[in-house]
Structure 1
Amino acid sequence: MDNFSSGRDQLPYALGVRWENFFDDLEGQLAAEWEAERAALDTEAERLRLSRVALRERLSVLIDRERTGGVPAFEIVDGTVLSAEVTGVGSDWVALDGGTAGAVVVPVTAIASIALPHEDVLRSARPAAGRTGLSERMGFGFVMRDIVRRRITVTVHLTHGRVLSGTIDRAGAEHLDIALHEPGTVRRAAEVTGHRLVPFSSIGWVRLDGAAALR
């Protein structure tokens, strides 16, 4: 009788220990599943955010980059590689300080690839809160028309590799007119050797000869 009573007294304690372990296991599983679900949601939210980031936004971040690493290298569709810092970004173009190449304007669609230090790759993937600079709303045509107004001599590098040097006489909605003459000379009728109409879509990059970098 004593043995039976002793065993019955021990039963609730044993069951209690097992139930506590069971609930502990359940809590652990739920916590692990919640963390996994939250991580998946965070990953999906990050993918969604990145899917909305435009290249021009990442280029804008490079304007203020710390220039402690290597210089960005822009590969253009004509095969040229420009080692240059970003000095301005418009709605569809980027202005570069190309060092010995001078001030350069490149349509975003003419960029084949950009080599960046890894820290700039990561930083540009999380653009700062939107810039409100007027230049960011200006299209490539607007920049070309400003060059017309300033009468700046230019060298236009076409996407297939040909180079046109001279002065842009006028710029339309999607093309420009350039009067051809020797680089470094003033546009005079006697110096002009020809005229070309050039669609913006065929332009790889434009060097502003002797001009300050665009900002």
Structure 2
Amino acid sequence: MRWDRFFEDLEDQLDSEWEAERAALDTEAERLRLSRVALRERLVALCREPRGVALHLQDGGVHSGRLARVGADWCALVGDAPGGAGNGAGAGAVVVPLWAVTDVAAPIDAVLASVRDADPGPALAQRMGFGFVLRDLVRRRIPVALHLEGGRTLDGTIDRAGADHLDVALHEPGAPRRAENVTGYRIVPFAGVLAVRLASASDLA
């Protein structure tokens, strides 16, 4: 009987050690997985969050709304409400390059879910860079408000978008881009753009 108990104890000990080793391996595998997760993959997961998020930008501004799209290096919010530093301009859509984001606020359960469900998203979206979005705005002739570093805003229409910069014709918000309405032109490096506000969320459809 003592030998039976001895072997049972050995089995219990081996089972405990195996469980501990498996738990350690699972923990290490999770650490390794997390080390490979990119911010944009967390944002892709947060697109499934109906309560929305708040993006805090380098200039102290805040844009809040529901994440609608995530590209290679940008994300788009819809239903954007006015935020800090006077950046809000009513409901609509705003495109934010990821380099402008300092932190993302979301409900705690959504934050945890974005860790678990981090996803690179569709292959096409992974290739769609900020410049691609700007060139599409050029094609559509959509008036925009460019929020720049230093708290400045340029209202107008993007005439062209190069590899790392854009040209914008300045005019009053809501006015069509016509020669008589244009008050000036600016060449703006992409790196200086913190957000691009569109007049309506439907413009992203």
Please, what TM-score do these two structures have when normalized by structure 1? 0.83
Shift of 1:133: 6.1
What is the match of residue 90 of structure 1? 71
Alpha carbons of structure 1 residues 49 and 180: separation in structure 2 relative to 1, 3 Å: same
Which of 95, 114, 138 is the aligned partner of 1:148? 138
Q: Is the 8 A contact 1:87 1:213 kept in 2?
A: no
2: CA distance, partners of 1:145 / 1:121: 32
What is the match of residue 187 of structure 1? 177
Residue 33 of structure 1 pairs with residue 17 of structure 2: yes
Superposed counterparts of 1:52-201, under 5 Å: 52-65=36-49, 67=50, 70-97=51-78, 98-99=80-81, 100-127=90-117, 131-132=121-122, 134-201=124-191
Residue 46 of structure 1 pairs with residue 30 of structure 2: yes
Residue 208 of structure 1 pairs with residue 192 of structure 2: no
What is the match of residue 7 of structure 1? none
Q: Is the 8 A contact 2:42 2:118 kept in 1?
A: no
Identical columns (%) = 59
Q: Could you list the runs of 4 or more consecutive aligned residues of structure 1 that deviate by over 4 angstroms after TM superposition?
A: none
Q: Is the 8 A contact 1:86 1:95 kept in 2?
A: yes
**Structure 2 regions of 5+ residues with no counterpart?**
82-89
1: CA distance, partners of 2:178 / 2:203: 25
**Structure 1 regions of 5+ residues with no counterpart?**
1-15
1: CA distance, partners of 2:204 / 2:123: 13
Please, what TM-score do these two structures have when normalized by structure 2? 0.87
2: CA distance, partners of 1:61 / 1:184: 34
- Asked which structure has the greater CA Rg, the reply is 1
Q: Is the 8 A contact 1:169 1:178 kept in 2?
A: yes
Alpha carbons of structure 1 residues 171 and 125: separation in structure 2 relative to 1, 3 Å: same
Shift of 1:104: 0.4
